Structures are given as structure tokens and as C-alpha cells.
């Protein structure tokens, strides 16, 4: 199994809603990542988890809250988002942070209304 599975594929939420994005991998990878991608732009790194601990936060606003409940799962909790947060959110995993051969999920397309 070389897949990174993200759910949901599409999400529409209001600015007062709380929602969560989920990411799962069963490759035994110990590093997991969240990226944000706006239309026609490259993915932007948000968070890096290594061995279930947050190792990098790229100065992401606190309305985005990551969580790594175990080595296979990565969540991104969303609260009080703004319309400009609408984007494709990509999850990725790799064997370790030292290895950049990462596997990406297909992303969650988020629309904030």
C-alpha cells in the first residue's frame, strides 16, 4: 500500500464552523506533512511531524491546528477560517524527515464561505 488517503475530497465550510481534515498512510512512514496550495501556485509547507511530534510550524495562523494521534494519522483542525483560506490542502508522508521522497495524497479542496 503506497497510498496517502485524504478525506474529505471536498469541503465547504462557513467562517464560524469547525471542521477537520484527515490524512492516513499505512507505509510505516514516520514523517508527515501538511501543505496548502492556492490555484496556479506551488504547494506551501505548513507543518511537519516527525515521530508524531510537531517539528516545523511555518508560522501558520492558529486557526489551523494540526494533530498527529498516531504514526498513521494526521489531522488538520480548522476553526474560524477566512475566505482567503480556500485552497487545496495536501498531506504527504515520507520514511523520515531526512528523506524527501514523499508520497502525497490527492488533497482536500476547501472552500470557505
Partner 1 sequence: DAKTTQPPSMDCAEGRAANLPCNHSTISGNEYVYWYRQIHSQGPQYIIHGLKNNETNEMASLIITEDRKSSTLILPHATLRDTAVYYCIVRVVGTGGFKTIFGAGTRLFVKA
Residues that bind partner 1 (CB under 8 A): 4, 33, 35, 42-45, 48, 50, 55-58, 90, 92, 97-98, 100-107
Identify whether the C-beta of residue 49 lies closer than 8 Å to the C-beta of residue 68: yes
Residue 33, beta-bridge partner list = 48, 92
Nearer to partner 1, 74 or 92 (CB): 92
The least CB distance from residue 80 to partner 1, in Å, is 26
Nearer to partner 1, 43 or 66 (CB): 43
Q: Which residues contact 65 (CB under 8 A, 6 or more apart)?
A: 76, 77, 78, 79
The least CB distance from residue 100 to partner 1, in Å, is 5
Nearer to partner 1, 16 or 100 (CB): 100
Cα separation, 1 vs 33, whole angstroms:
18
Amino acid at each position: 500500500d503506497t497510498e496517502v488517503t485524504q478525506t474529505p475530497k471536498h469541503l465547504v465550510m462557513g467562517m464560524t464552523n469547525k471542521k477537520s481534515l484527515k490524512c492516513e498512510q499505512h507505509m510505516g512512514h514516520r514523517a508527515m506533512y501538511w501543505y496548502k496550495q492556492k490555484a496556479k501556485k506551488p504547494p506551501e509547507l505548513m507543518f511537519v511531524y516527525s515521530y508524531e511530534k510537531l517539528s516545523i510550524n511555518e508560522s501558520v495562523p492558529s486557526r489551523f491546528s494540526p494533530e498527529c494521534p498516531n504514526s498513521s494519522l494526521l489531522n488538520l483542525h480548522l476553526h474560524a477560517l477566512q475566505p482567503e483560506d480556500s485552497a487545496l490542502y495536501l498531506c504527504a508522508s515520507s520514511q523520515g524527515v531526512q528523506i524527501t521522497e514523499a508520497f502525497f495524497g490527492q488533497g482536500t479542496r476547501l472552500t470557505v464561505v
